[in-house]
Structure 1
Amino acid sequence: MAERATDQGYLLDNGQAEAGVRFGALAELFDPVTFRHVDGVGIGAGMRCWEVGAGGTSVPLGLAERVGPRGAVVATDIDVSWTRDAAGGVIEVVRHDVAADPPPGGGFDLVHARLVLVHVADRAEALRRMAGALRPGGWLLVEDADPSLQPLLCPDESGPEQRLANRLRAGFRTLMAGRGADLAYGRTLPRALREAGLGGVRADAYFPITSPACAVLEDATVRQIRGRLVTAGLATDEEIDRHLANVAAGRLDLATAPLVSAWGRRE
């Protein structure tokens, strides 16, 4: 969740206090999806897993439960400040740039990244390195957003509060694109995994609407980027305050961009 896109840096900086709130909301929204796929490909006792761009601790800890004391989980990120507390036992935490550094050694039964590659400038190289780190029979599971596929924060744009929310979300997409994010990346994952030489490729997509965690995520995200929205002329402080009040009041049916999950196996 935290690999950097360009020299300008990742838009949602892990150094900000809101990052921890975002990681918690993302875990609530998407961990059930992630672990449905992890369990579906048969990750279990004694296996080795590489969690790429871990961000928070929820996925490394969930993987550690599945592989048990005879397994191993390597959790990597450019910024490990939110992950280091999970280190110990079967979990190793390593500072690492997936597009620039050699993969951790040893080979893996599962390599997983969620909401990472969309932000990485050389995402094709990152994917190649991830696929190359698999053991024969190992699985690559990549989950990434596709904001262009479903761009609205409020799909039911029923009034001025919803229109304001969607305009601020459009501003967020503008900032992401300016940092090198590919806003249509999610839909390309099945093809990318096949081109990486993987077999048995499958994919699905999920996006929640009206989860309480969507409101938590939106509040933290807007607070992280409000200065950039204002500086870029994409919103005023008054509009942002009004939107945050609308979110807090629970009057908006908030959604996320679709999370596309794609998985394939090294033959």
Structure 2
Amino acid sequence: MRTASDTDLDVRREVYLAAALDAFSIGRLAGLPHLSGARCLDLGVGGSAVPVWLADRVGTEGEVVVADAEPLPPGLLAPGRYALIRARLLLMRTPHPEALLRRLAAALAPGGTLVVEDWHLWPDDAVLAAPSARDAHLVDRCLRLLAEQVLPALGVDPGWAPRAHTAARAAGLTTVDTAIHAPVWAAGEPGALLLAVDLARHHRRYLAAGVAPAELDRVRQLVTDPGSGLVLRGHLLYSTCGGAGFY
């Protein structure tokens, strides 16, 4: 049963995601031609401002359809329907991302574009600075548990993103390219605050993995206090873009 606290965490997560990712996503989409009058599908949007930006670009003759997560509404991915489809942090959360990517590609109109954005959660060398070696080890431990145990147990594939390029080509998309956003997050910034949300959302899983309550409190303090001195290499965001051929 979900609680008011769960809802608050979801809202905070959406706000932090938008702050951490929207500028890169919009920059990626800004290079696409011919959006005026287009029909677009934006998936996994949460609190993102990207749909609003897209609506301005497509104008009154276009349309922006939004959906947050699977299961997607029936009929949403009708063949040949969209000039642009963007899926943010969605495929990494599905059991069969390659299959969903093929469905997305099939829903593109001739000449349409698919943009898939997913994190590669790679915990190695993620702590760039910390107040002490003990703090660095503790934060590293929590990040490793997130990538190697917590998220996989929830059906999330932290290693999917590097496979998206090959999967897009296998789905028949052309001119496939991948850009990788490698941010740095200081304590108190939206990306670092996402870790605080994860600690709260998955509190029981961290405890079950052997992290003590006091240790979780310390990590929460480190990531939320701008004066803590903690600096993280953020999750790598893979943005894979491919076009549907004309037929």
Interval of TM-score (by shorter of Structure 1 and Structure 2)? 0.7 to 0.9
Matches of 1:234 and 1:110 in 2, distance apart?
45
Residues 16 and 224 of structure 1 are in contact (CA less than 8 Å); yes or no, is this contact kept in structure 2? no
Matches of 1:76 and 1:187 in 2, distance apart?
24
Question: How many pairs does the alignment contain?
Answer: 234
Does residue 225 of the first structure (1) align with residue 202 of the second (2)? Answer: yes
Which of residues 86, 90, 97 is equivalent to 1:123? 97
Matches of 2:32 and 2:15 in 1, distance apart?
25
Aligned-residue Cα RMSD (Å) equals 2.1
What aligned pairs does 1:29-40 form with structure 2 within 5 A after superposition? 29-40=20-31
Which of residues 169, 184, 198 is equivalent to 1:194? 169
Please give the per-residue CA displacement for 1:10-68, whole angstroms capped at 9, x wherever unaligned.
xxxx9531111111111111111111111112253211110122222422222112112
Which residue of the partner structure matches residue 213 of structure 2?
237
User: Match of 2:215, as an amino acid?
Assistant: E
Does residue 107 of the first structure (1) align with residue 85 of the second (2)? Answer: no
Matches of 2:174 and 2:54 in 1, distance apart?
23
Does residue 266 of the first structure (1) align with residue 239 of the second (2)? Answer: no
Which one is further off, 153-162 or 210-219?
A: 153-162
Q: CA deviation at 1:151?
A: 4.2
Residues 77 and 97 of structure 1 are in contact (CA less than 8 Å); yes or no, is this contact kept in structure 2? no
Q: CA deviation at 1:71?
A: 0.9
Which residue of the partner structure matches residue 47 of structure 1?
38
Residues 48 and 67 of structure 1 are in contact (CA less than 8 Å); yes or no, is this contact kept in structure 2? yes
Deviating beyond 6 angstroms after TM superposition, the runs of 4 or more aligned structure 1 residues are none
Residues 46 and 70 of structure 1 are in contact (CA less than 8 Å); yes or no, is this contact kept in structure 2? yes
Distance 1:235 1:102, change over 3 A: farther
**TM, length-normalised to structure 2:** 0.87
Residues 51 and 113 of structure 1 are in contact (CA less than 8 Å); yes or no, is this contact kept in structure 2? yes
Which residue of the partner structure matches residue 127 of structure 2?
154
Matches of 2:191 and 2:45 in 1, distance apart?
20
Q: CA deviation at 1:115?
A: 0.9
Residues 18 and 48 of structure 2 are in contact (CA less than 8 Å); yes or no, is this contact kept in structure 1? no
Residues 139 and 264 of structure 1 are in contact (CA less than 8 Å); yes or no, is this contact kept in structure 2? yes
Query: Helix, strand or coil: the match of 2:7?
Result: coil
Which of residues 111, 114, 131 is equivalent to 1:140? 114
Q: CA deviation at 1:101?
A: 4.2
User: Match of 1:262, as an amino acid?
Assistant: T
Please give the per-residue CA displacement for 1:208-238, whole angstroms capped at 9, x wherever unaligned.
11352223222222221112211x2241211
Query: Helix, strand or coil: the match of 2:28?
Result: helix
Matches of 1:204 and 1:15 in 2, distance apart?
33
**TM, length-normalised to structure 1:** 0.80
